[in-house]
Amino acid sequence: MVVGGVTALCLVSEAGAVVTISSIYLGTRTLTLRVGTATAGAIDTVQFNVGGATVGNSLPYAAAVNGNGVAIAASSGGAVAINMKMQVPASKVPQNVTTTVTYPPALTCISGGCGSAAIPFSKIRWTTNSPSSLDFQSGYFSDGGSPKTIQSGQLNSTADPLISLVGGTFDVSNTMTFTYINDVAYPAGNYSGTVTYTATLP
């Protein structure tokens, strides 16, 4: 059974970015992580369409062909909600929490004739809404797939002295807006990769 409820502190950055710290939690230590929109059971997809604004054959064209280095927004699913919530009894206060993201080195070809070609995950970046130090941070994926820490915080009695006596809840919500760095012309095709967010209470 989980018991909680009296709000101690709610830190609001801007729309879509909320850090909430509240006191009184007498249950078992729990951790919840949600990434995506309100569609039960599905994994959200962020899709980028790389190409000209017009599709067709034999269009007049005089410019050089290559990626122009400009970040392009996703054609669908570019803004992904992320929420991490931990509930901690007094016996575990102070409680650290860390959220990391793991990903493969590259987006691999899944169809469309691109064969063994791949797009490094470093071409994908994200920004969050005016994050505070406790919030999810903006960042980018790295070549080679090194995990990234995107959030780190601690529930303690700084926000409310009651937390050390009666436990509390630490809730962080934000929105990640993804972009694709279009600076290389890759073989035509469809590429995909899955990133995994992991929240951990040591």
Partner 1 sequence: MKKLLSALSLAICTGLVLVSGNAMAEQTIGVQAATTPAIATARVNVSVVVQKVVVLRIGDANATVSAVTFSVGPNPAIAGAPGDSLAYAGTIPPIIGTTVATTNPTTSAGALTVGAWTNASAGASLSCSLSALSGATAFATGATAAGVPGTTDITVTSVAGAGNLQTPGATLAACGTSTSTIASRTTLGGTFTYGTSFTATDLAAGTYGNTVTYTATTL
Residues in 50-79 that interact with partner 1 by CB under 8 A: 50-52, 55, 60-62, 65, 75
- CB-CB contact of 45 with 77 (8 Å): yes
Q: HSE on the CB side for 58, CA within 13 Å? A: 0
Q: Which two tokens stand for residue 57?
A: 């054959």
Q: Which two tokens stand for residue 76?
A: 């669908």
* Residue 90 binds partner 1, judged by CB under 8 A: no
* Residue 170 binds partner 1, judged by CB under 8 A: no
- What is the number of other CB atoms lying within 10 angstroms of the CB of residue 133? 9
- Taking the least distance from each CB to partner 1, the nearer of 113 and 161 is 113
* Residue 14 binds partner 1, judged by CB under 8 A: yes
Report, in Å, the least distance between residue 145 CB and partner 1: 13
Contact with partner 1 (CB under 8 A): which of 23, 25, 80, 160?
Answer: 80
| Exposure class string for 93-130: b at 16+ Cβ within 10 A, else e | bebebbbebebebbbebeeeebeeebbbbebbbbbbbe
Report, in Å, the least distance between residue 159 CB and partner 1: 10
Report, in Å, the least distance between residue 57 CB and partner 1: 9
Contact with partner 1 (CB under 8 A): which of 114, 138, 164, 166?
Answer: 114
- CB-CB contact of 104 with 145 (8 Å): yes
Report, in Å, the least distance between residue 201 CB and partner 1: 4
For partner 1, the binding residues in 124-153 under the rule CB under 8 A are 124, 130, 132
Report, in Å, the least distance between residue 128 CB and partner 1: 14
* Residue 33 binds partner 1, judged by CB under 8 A: yes
Beta bridge partners of 73: 179
Cis peptide before 94 (omega within 30 of 0): yes
Q: H/E element holding 3?
A: none
* Residue 158 binds partner 1, judged by CB under 8 A: no
* Residue 1 binds partner 1, judged by CB under 8 A: no
